[in-house]
């Protein structure tokens, strides 16, 4: 096989709870991930030259970085070393998912690179080792080896599949001029996280457990909303406008700055998108785990 094309789907967090500060300095999370149909596309082609080359078009990262630091490059380079492959590979990434908006684009690209390179080289790797490599690349990367609806614990890298829910129609609003660096979002949460650490009983945890096994999957919640909205009031206004325009629920995506709403139909989501002429908008739908596996060609 000389070329592989593979999508890299975005995610939203149906629930994101920060339970407290860990001894290693990271935060203990409980989150429910959900893949959505918004996606990048990665093309991998065998090359006669040695090494890895990567070109990117479309939504560029917010800051320029050496190509060797890109997660797609790092994922393929790590697999080449793991599998001891000398042949070169040419990577072309077409970005549609806006960078730095809490939609997991970089992490999804990395997972697509791992899966795509295995397919290109017709190699196999034990699932546990693949998960380990994904976690080394980033906390969200392991989720994108699974897709659908899943529980993330610890730093978010420990993943457990959850029952899929009926398809949801989603409008994502990505404000062009607002960027929320993830370290800043965690710093704004710092005081709250420390208080949670000292609590012997955390009712949020029991509420979260009940939601995980809910067939409806409703009850959007994100602990980053309050601190992020205080510093970026326009994101709060976007959420309220989504609700006013017919969204049943709305929430911040990850640590931001994208905001998404759940609509009863694609048509209503498209009509609502007209109300955000100065922002990027994406009308999409949730992607179940089975559909994700088919689209990514993940073996059962």
140 carries an active-site annotation: yes
Domain holding 200: CATH number? 3.30.70.890
pLDDT on residue 272: 98
Tens-digit pLDDT profile for residues 45-77: 999 888 899 999 987 655 567 889 999 999 999
Domain identity same for 75 and 33: yes
What's the CA gap between 265 and 288, in Å, rounded?
17
Is the predicted pLDDT of residue 215 greater than 70, yes or no? no
Is the predicted pLDDT of residue 262 greater than 60, yes or no? yes
Q: Per mean pLDDT, which of 155-159, 172-176, 211-215, 295-299 is the most reliable?
A: 172-176
Domain identity same for 175 and 259: yes
Domain identity same for 100 and 76: yes
Domain identity same for 46 and 156: yes
Domain C-terminal end among 100, 135, 164: 164
Is the predicted pLDDT of residue 26 greater than 80, yes or no? no
17 carries an active-site annotation: no
* Domains identified in the chain, total number: 2
Of 17, 40, 109, 140, the catalytic one is 140
Residue-number span of the structural domain to which 139 is assigned: 3-164
For residue 205, is it within any domain?
yes
Instruction: For residue 24, give the DSSP letter.
Output: T
The residue whose two tokens read 């206004």 is 237
Query: Of all residues in the chain, what percent carry a pLDDT higher than 90?
Result: 73
Give φ, ψ of 67 to 5 degrees. -60, -30
What's the CA gap between 281 and 158, in Å, rounded?
31
The residue whose two tokens read 């096989």 is 1
For residue 298, is it within any domain?
no
For residue 296, is it within any domain?
no
Domain C-terminal end among 121, 139, 164: 164
What's the CA gap between 300 and 298, in Å, rounded?
6
Of 11, 21, 95, 268, the catalytic one is 11
pLDDT on residue 50: 81
Q: Output the pTM of the full model.
A: 0.90
Domain holding 72: CATH number? 3.30.230.10
Domain identity same for 183 and 148: no
For residue 137, is it within any domain?
yes
Is the predicted pLDDT of residue 198 greater than 60, yes or no? no
For residue 112, is it within any domain?
yes
């Amino acid at each position: 096989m000389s070329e592989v094309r593979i999508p890299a789907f975005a995610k939203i967090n149906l629930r994101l709870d920060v339970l407290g500060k860990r001894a290693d300095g990271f935060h203990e999370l409980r989150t429910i991930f959900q893949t959505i149909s918004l996606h990048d596309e990665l093309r991998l082609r065998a090359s006669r030259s040695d090494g890895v080359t990567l070109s990117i078009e479309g939504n560029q990262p917010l800051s320029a970085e050496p190509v060797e630091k890109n997660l797609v490059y790092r994922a393929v380079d790590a697999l080449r070393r793991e599998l001891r492959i000398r042949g070169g590979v040419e990577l072309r990434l077409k970005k549609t998912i806006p960078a730095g908006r809490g939609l997991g684009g970089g992490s999804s690209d990395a997972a697509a690179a791992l899966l795509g390179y295995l397919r290109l080289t017709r190699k196999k790797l034990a699932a546990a080792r693949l998960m380990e490599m994904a976690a080394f690349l980033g906390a969200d990367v392991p989720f994108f080896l699974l897709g659908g609806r899943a529980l993330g614990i610890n730093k978010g890298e420990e993943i457990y599949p959850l029952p899929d829910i009926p398809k949801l129609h989603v409008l994502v609003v990505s404000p062009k001029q607002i960027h929320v660096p993830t370290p800043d979002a965690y710093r704004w949460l710092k005081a709250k996280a420390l208080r949670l650490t000292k609590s012997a009983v955390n009712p949020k945890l029991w509420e979260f457990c009940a939601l995980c096994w809910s067939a409806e999957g409703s009850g959007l919640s994100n602990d980053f909303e309050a601190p992020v909205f205080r510093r970026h009031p326009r994101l709060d206004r976007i959420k309220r406008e989504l609700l006013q325009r017919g969204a049943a629920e709305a929430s911040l995506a990850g640590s931001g700055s994208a905001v998404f709403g759940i609509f009863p139909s694609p048509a209503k989501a498209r009509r609502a998108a007209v109300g955000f002429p100065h922002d990027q908008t994406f009308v999409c739908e949730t992607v179940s785990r089975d559909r994700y596996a088919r689209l990514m060609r993940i073996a059962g």
